[in-house]
Amino acid sequence: MSGRGRHGTFDVGDKPTRPEDPEVRRANLRRIFRLFGPERSRLSLVLALIIFSSALGMVPAFLLRDVIDNAIPTANTTLLAWLAGGMIAIAIVVGILGVAQTYLANRVGQEVMHELRADVYEHLQRQSLAFFTRTRTGEVQSRIANDIGGVDEVVTSTATSVVSNVTTVLAALVAMFLLDWRLAILSVILVPFFVLLTRRVGAERRRLSTERQKTMADISSLVQESLSVSGVLLGKTMGRGPELATRFREESRELAELEVRQRMAGRWVMASISASFAILPALVYWAGGWSIATGWGAVSIGTLVAFATIQTRIFFPVGALLSVGIDVQASLALFDRIFEYLDLKVDIDEHEGSRALTRADAKGEVAFDDVWFRYEADGPWTIAGATFLAAPGTRTAVVGETGSGKTTLGYLVARLYDAERGTVTIDGVDVRDLSFASLADLVGVVSQETYLFHATVRENLRFARPDATDAEIEEACRAARIHAHITGLPAGYDTVVGERGYRFSGGEKQRIAIARTVLRNPPILVLDEATSALDVETERQVQEALDALAEGRTTITIAHRLSTVRDADQILVLDHGAIVERGGHAELVQAGGRYAELVQRDALGVGAGL
C-alpha cells in the first residue's frame, strides 16, 4: 500500500529508513525538492526576479567607474547627473523587486510548510490504535511542532536565499572579470578551500541537530505527561514532584549543552573565513595600487573603485552561502525525522474499492469466525480462535478476568485492530472490506477511557454529529440521564469541560460519552464497561437509558459488573483470549463453570477483577 502527498510517494509497507545511509540522504534531498513542485510557477517568477535584480545590482559599479574616470575628470555635469540618476533609479527598482521577491518566497515557503504539516498529521491520523499505544504523545507532538517548525526558516527563505546569493555571486564574478580578470582571480582564489571546510562543519552540525531533536522530544513527552491534569495529580499524590523537577532539569541541561555545541560547531572556521574576507579587499587595493604606481598592467582608479565595490558585495553572499550550507545540513536532520514519520507503515487502511454499507441497509449482524489477534508478532495471543454470532438486535455480553481480551474483542468489531487470522464480519461483509466512514456510521463505541475535548459540552457532543440540532443534543442527554445536571450549570451546554473533562466527575463524563453515542445513533453498539465509573443509582439510570438505546440494535457489552449482563441474550466467557463458555445467565450459573465462579466472587464482594 502506498500513498502520495506533496512530500512525494512513500511506501507505507516499509520500515523507517536509516537517514545516515548516503542513498537515503540523496533520496530525502530529492523529496525535499519535490516539496516545491506544486509551486513551480511562483518559483519561476521568484527566480526571474532574482536573476534580473542580481544583474541589475551590478550596473551601479560600472556607472561608478564612469563617474570617476569620465564625468568628474571632464567636469561633464550632464553625464554626472545621468550616471547619478541611474544609480538612484536602480537602487529603487532593486528595492521594490526585493520586496516582491520576499513576499513570493514566503508565500511559497508557507504553502509548502502547510502541506508538510497537513501531510504528517493526516498520515498519523491513518495510523492504527496500536501505534498510539506504543508511542509517547509528546514524541508525536514534538515531530509536528519542533521538527516541522525547525525547518520553517529553511523552507520559507533559505531556498530562495541560496538562489539569490548564487545568482548575485555569479553576476558579480562576471562583472569582476569584465573589469579586471587578474584582480578577479585574486579575489576568489580561496573560495574552494572555504567550501571544503564548511562541508565538514555541516556534517557535525547535522549530527548534533539529530541529538538535539531527540532531546527536545524527550522534554516534550515529559512536559506532556507530568504537567497534564492526570500527571500533576499523580505527582502530587505520590510526592514525586521534586524528582520530576530534577529529571526535567537534567533533560534541560542536556539540551542546553547540545544547543551550545551546535551553535559553536565551526565557529572558528567561520571566523577564519570572515577574517579572510576582510583581508582580501586590502590585497586588491594593494595589487591595484601597485599596478598603477609601477605602470605594469595598470588599471584605472575608477576600475579599482568599481571592482572594490563589487568585491564588497560578493563577500556577503559568499559568506551567507557558506553559513547557510551549515544550517541546511542541520535542517536535513529534521527532514530525516519528518520523512521517518511519513514512511511509517499504515497497518490498518482502506482497501481500494472498499464497500459502503449504510445504516438503512444494515441489519446489525456481527460474526467472528476463528479470529486470532496479538499485539506483538511473537507475543502471546490476546484473542485465540474466537467464533461467535451476535444476531441483529441481540445483546451479547463479554466477561472474564482482567487481561482476558474483552476490550480487544470489542475493538476488533470497530476495526481499531485487524485480526491476524480469521474474519470479523458485519452483515456478512468483512470489516476490512468496509470503508472507514461506513464503520464509523455502523459501530458506536463507548470506551472505559472517556475522553472529552477542552471545549464546551455542546461542542463535545457535536463531535459525534456536527449537524445535530440543539433539540437532538438535549434529547440524547436526557436518554443518558445527564441533561438535568448540564442545565443546572451556570453556563449550561456552553460550559467548558476543562482539560480531559476534569470539571466533571467520572460518572458525569461517562454519561456525556454515552449521550455522544446516542446522538450518533449507530445500529451496532460496543459498550466497553460503559457504566464502570458510575455509582449504583446512576448506573441504574444509565442502564435504563442503554437498555432503551439497545432496543433493535446489536449490542456487545464488555462487562465489569456482572449485574449488568444478566439479561443478555448470550454471555461469552473469555479466558486468555479463548471463549471457554457461552450461554445465558441461568444456563451458565447452572453449569457451575468459570462464569458461576465469577458470579460467586462478585456476590461475595471479593472483586472478580473483570
Per residue in 91-148, pLDDT tens? 899 889 888 888 888 888 888 888 888 888 888 888 878 787 777 766 777 777 777 7
221 within a domain of the structure (yes/no): no
Are residue 430 and residue 470 in the same domain, yes or no? yes
203 within a domain of the structure (yes/no): yes
Higher per-residue pLDDT: 310 or 597: 597
Higher per-residue pLDDT: 109 or 88: 88
Task: For residue 273, give its domain range.
Answer: 2-208+266-342
219 within a domain of the structure (yes/no): no
Are residue 191 and residue 308 in the same domain, yes or no? yes
What's the CA gap between 411 and 417, in Å, rounded? 6
- Give the tens place of pLDDT for each residue, 429-449: 999 999 888 888 899 888 777
Q: Tell me phi and psi for residue 426, to 5 degrees.
A: -120, 120
Are residue 101 and residue 177 in the same domain, yes or no? yes
Are residue 338 and residue 370 in the same domain, yes or no? no
Are residue 184 and residue 129 in the same domain, yes or no? yes
User: What sign does the dihedral 501-503-507-508 (CA atoms) show?
Assistant: negative
Find the CATH number of the domain harbouring 60: 1.20.1560.10
- Give the tens place of pLDDT for each residue, 37-58: 888 888 888 888 888 888 888 8
Name the β-bridge partners of 565: none
Most distant CA atoms of the chain, gap in Å:
122
610 within a domain of the structure (yes/no): no
Yes or no: say if 127 and 7 are a contact pair by the CB < 8 Å rule: no
Produce one character per residue of 79-93: b if its CB has 16 or more CB atoms within 10 Å, e if not.
Answer: ebeebeebeeebeee
Q: Which residue has the cell 502541506?
A: 115
Lowest mean pLDDT among 169-173, 198-202, 501-505: 198-202
Higher per-residue pLDDT: 267 or 24: 24
Are residue 335 and residue 373 in the same domain, yes or no? no
Average pLDDT (499-528) is 83
Task: Note the helical H segments in 346-395.
Answer: none
- Give the tens place of pLDDT for each residue, 224-264: 666 655 565 556 555 666 777 787 788 778 878 777 776 66
Are residue 395 and residue 327 in the same domain, yes or no? no
Q: Which residue has the cell 472490506?
A: 433
361 within a domain of the structure (yes/no): no
Higher per-residue pLDDT: 524 or 606: 524
159 within a domain of the structure (yes/no): yes
Yes or no: say if 497 and 528 are a contact pair by the CB < 8 Å rule: no
Are residue 575 and residue 502 in the same domain, yes or no? yes
Total of domains in the chain: 2
| CA nearest to 43, candidates 172, 169, 163, 166 | 163
What's the CA gap between 220 and 337, in Å, rounded? 16
Q: Tell me phi and psi for residue 554, to 5 degrees.
A: -85, 125
Name the β-bridge partners of 5: 8
Yes or no: say if 312 and 281 are a contact pair by the CB < 8 Å rule: yes
What's the CA gap between 383 and 398, in Å, rounded? 13
